[in-house]
Amino acid sequence: MNSPAAGSQARRVWSGWAPPLAEGFVARPETGSFLQRVLAPGMTVALVSDRAAAGPRGWRDSSGKTQLAVSYAQSLWQAAAVDLVIWLTGTSRAQVLSGYMEAAAALGVQLSGDADSVSARFLSWLRDSDRPWLVVVDDLTDATALERLWPQGPAGRVLITTADSAALFGHQAQVIPVGAFSRREALTYLVGRLTADLDQRQGAIDLVTDLGQEPLALAQASAVIASSELTCHDYREHFLRRREQVLGAAAAAVAEPMAGAVTWALSVDHADLLSPGSAHPLLALAALLDGNGIPGTVVATSAAREYCAAGGLYASAGASTEDGLAALEHAGLMSADPASAPPLLRMNWLVQAAVRAAMPDAMLKGAAVAAADALLEAWPADEPPEWLARSLRSCTESLRRWSADLLWEGGCHALLLRAGRSLDAAHLTGPAVRYWEDLARMSARALGNDHPATAGINERLAGAYLAAGRPAESIALLERIRLDRARRLGPEHPGTIAAGRDLGLALVTAKRFNEALAVLAEVASGWERSLGADTLETLTAREDLAAAYRAAGQLSDAITLYRRTLRDRERIQGPRHPDTTATCQKLAECYLADGQAKTAISYFDRVVGDRERALGSDHLLTIAARGALGSAYHGAGKMASAVRLGEQTHAAYVQALGPDHPDTLRAGMNLAHAYYGVGRITDATRLLRDTVERCELSLPAADPLTVAARTSLANISGNQG
């Protein structure tokens, strides 16, 4: 298999946002040229910290590993040595799965199923592909992030950056320690940053020595010097004085601090000089988010602006986020990537840790609430592009980690619910279950089991269980929710009845039809008793019950109930209302399933007319209704009409969704059956072969549509033989 989808062979793809190369980047010919030599196709290389032993992450871990990875990826890309580059952030499993889904979409792989199944198909393509590719997993900190998600294949290269080789989880990788610059590299970098005023280079050699050639310390020192009137000699004097202060404050210290532990504080002082009042609050807010990528819209929100103006302990009325951000950039504490829209802000995790450690409790509380408000304000109402949603979710997860219970004071902050809904929308079913489970535990501890927020979170958790294919756990939780509401609110309360509906639908999914029918019948009668027979809630409950009858194979009962609901909707909502049309279509589908094709045709014909008038002939709902009408004609033996509508439906889906979408493939298989029914065996065989090939490229091997297409092709081929 040479490509994930037809027509994508020639297209080169870079997926994911890599940090830009730092200003004054040095290619490190003495300490970083190894990648070009060792990372050949089929290999995995891990760049790790050169610290002597495992332990807490510290300043020594920031040695420029990510910048080396960026330089290597860009060099391969610019030389056209790879057709595909995927840049992933390895801080969580959700980040990795989301990155694979984005890459799969860019290459044309159909996103049917959840993130795990899409990623499995994509990894299978990587294993089989002969197109050269590179996967970079940056900042791998979670050992479970790549569990069953390791990319491999003879045509691919895998490059990992991590501060701790334990995160490699026992996988085979050539581990390469990365440490400080060589003396020559450090001096080249420093003088390369200081080009506006050559006199500032005075004392550069001594400064490089005192900074221990540490990449992060050099980046911060050069940023301060370049944006001030200091020389290297002047900065070195400030550095030595501050280092003595740090040593004096740490009575138990056994060694001099790493240079970065000193230079970051000098950078904060410089940022305060550049923008008094705004740098500190913005630094505190950003330190609680994901430094691998903070959407620029977050710091542009009114919540962030108000915090910078009045919310921080060091803030002032004239503070602005623009001034603060510019000051932090000039001081080497933050960078902005303008290539993305919105720009992504990046902040070194060591600087973030140092800022958090220095925060007073009052400042932490204010920054945490402001960050949560800003993230929620920046989150679009409609789910944004996946890369942006991924950044917002990761920032939320980072904020959760560092804010402890601060987002639960007085209730559950709405940001926490928004992030969970985003996981659900992205079909990240495994991470969504873990997220809602954790949120349910936190809510029960912080707010109590009887709090409305806890009940709402448990409902979301039940839905996540169901989406993840764990109906038994969903049903158990929904039964508990229903009983709890009946106890607290009474059996006739709308909340209790709504909980019954959720339980009944979950029972249908689990194919526990007898229980489902009993529960949903009780829900329908409950709405009728409490609200009346003609309310929309009652009509919807009847349709739920009718759908359960159909799923249980009790088509006569389903038809009776759908007919009654259709009459009521026509009377209450009108014959052309979208809800009425939807009910009419469900009734038609029941008639067709019951073998009453002629009756189904009359209802489907009405649905097609209503859809065309309301939505237009090219709307997906109209196309689907037209395809269903074609199936009804087929069932009634009216093959000329079945072929005509089948061709129209297939062509419309190709135009609207592309040739590899599951709806297009299903329409192609239906058209092939119609061709076979009128004796066009060659056309049927050709179309089925094409459908099978496309199914195998874009759907799982065991997908029901793939299996059905293969079976149909085998049957036709057997009949021909």
CB atoms within 10 A of CB 93: 21
Using left for φ > 0, alpha for ψ between -120 and 50, and beta otherwise, residue 39 falls in beta
Contact status, residue 697 vs residue 705, Cβ threshold 8 Å: no
Q: What is the pLDDT of residue 315?
A: 45
The residue behind tokens 């009728």 is 528
**Placement of tokens 């990894």 in the chain:** 123
Angle at 666 between CA 695 and CA 712, to 5 degrees: 75
Structural tokens at position 403:
């804010």
546, two tokens: 């009718």
Cβ atoms of 220 and 327 closer than 8 Å: no
Burial classification of residue 33, based on how many CB atoms lie within 10 Å of its CB (0-12 exposed, 13-18 middle, 19 or more buried):
exposed
Q: How far apart are CA 631 and CA 719, in angstroms?
A: 22
The whole-angstrom separation of Cα 526 and Cα 708 is: 41
Q: Any residues with CB less than 8 A from the CB of 234 and at least 6 apart, and which?
A: 203
Closest CA to 271 of 345, 220, 198: 220
Q: Is there a contact between 276 and 316 (Cβ–Cβ < 8 Å)?
A: yes
Compute CA distances 238 → 58, 59, 207, 220, whole Å.
23, 20, 11, 13
Angle between helices 414-425 and 386-403 (to 10 degrees): 140
Task: Take residue 422 and report the two structure tokens written for it.
Answer: 């985003």
pLDDT, position 1: 26
Beta bridge pairs of residue 295: 344
Q: Which two tokens stand for residue 247?
A: 């040593």
**Residue whose C-alpha is closest to residue 180's, from 35, 31, 55, 45:** 31
- Residue 382 has a CB neighbour count (10 Å cut-off) of 6
Instruction: Classify 157 as helix, strand or coil.
Output: strand
Given a contact cutoff of 8 angstroms between Cβ atoms, the answer to whether 626 and 608 are in contact is: yes
C-alpha distances in angstroms, 124 versus 85, 148, 330? Answer: 16, 12, 45
Give the max Cα distance, the chain.
Answer: 93
Q: Please list the residues that pair with 25 across neighbouring strands.
A: none
Q: Torsion angle, CA of 287/288/292/295, rounded to 10 degrees? A: -100
Q: Which residues contact 441 (CB under 8 A, 6 or more apart)?
A: none
Partners of 86 in beta bridges: 15, 135
**Within a 10 A sphere around the Cβ of 199, how many other Cβ atoms?**
9
Per the listing, tokens 């791998």 go with 140
pLDDT at 279: 87
- Which pLDDT does position 170 carry in this prediction? 66
| Residue 446, both tokens | 């912080």
Q: What is residue 255's three-state secondary structure?
A: coil
Token pair for residue 1? 């298999």
Task: Let me know: does 429 contact 464? Beta carbons within 8 Å.
Answer: yes
Best CATH choice for the domain 13-178 from the list 3.10.20.740, 3.10.20.30, 3.40.50.300, 3.30.70.20 = 3.40.50.300
The residue whose two tokens read 């490509």 is 3
| 213 backbone φψ class: left, alpha, beta (φ>0; ψ -120 to 50) | left
Question: Do residues 168 and 162 touch, judged by C-beta distance below 8 A?
Answer: yes
On the 0-12 / 13-18 / 19+ scale of CB atoms within 10 A, 638 is middle
CA-nearest of 675, 620, 621 to 644 is: 675
DSSP per-residue letters across 522-575: HHHHHHHHHH-TTSHHHHHHHHHHHHHHHHTT-HHHHHHHHHHHHHHHHHHT-T
Is the Cβ–Cβ distance between 46 and 165 less than 8 Å? yes
Return the closest-CA partner of residue 36 out of 4, 79, 1, 95.
79
Secondary structure element (H or E) that encloses residue 488, with its range: helix 471-489
Global confidence as pTM: 0.86
Domain parsing of the chain, residue ranges: 13-178, 183-269, 658-721
**Pairing verdict, β 133-138 and 294-295:** unpaired
Q: Which pLDDT value is given to residue 2?
A: 29
Q: To 5 degrees, how large is the angle CA 715–CA 718–CA 720?
A: 110
Decide: helix, strand or coil at residue 174: strand
Q: What angle do CA 626, 631, 635 make, to 5 degrees?
A: 145
668 and 638 Cβ atoms separated by less than 8 Å: no
Q: Which two tokens stand for residue 592?
A: 């067709």
153: left (phi over 0), alpha (psi -120 to 50) or beta: left
CA–CA gap between residue 188 and residue 206 (Å, rounded): 13
* Continuous segment of H or E residues that includes residue 136: strand 133-138
The C-alpha atoms of residue 318 and residue 308 are separated, in whole angstroms, by 9
For residue 352, the one-letter residue type is: Q
Which strands make up the sheet holding 294-295, listed edge to edge? 294-295, 344-346, 335-337
The answer to whether the beta carbons of residues 330 and 274 sit under 8 Å apart is: yes
pLDDT means over runs of 10, the chain (721 residues): 37 91 89 86 91 59 90 95 95 94 82 83 88 95 87 95 77 86 94 92 95 94 96 96 82 67 94 86 94 94 88 52 91 90 91 93 92 97 91 97 93 97 95 97 94 94 95 96 92 94 96 97 96 95 97 96 97 96 96 95 96 95 95 94 96 91 93 94 94 82 84 80 50
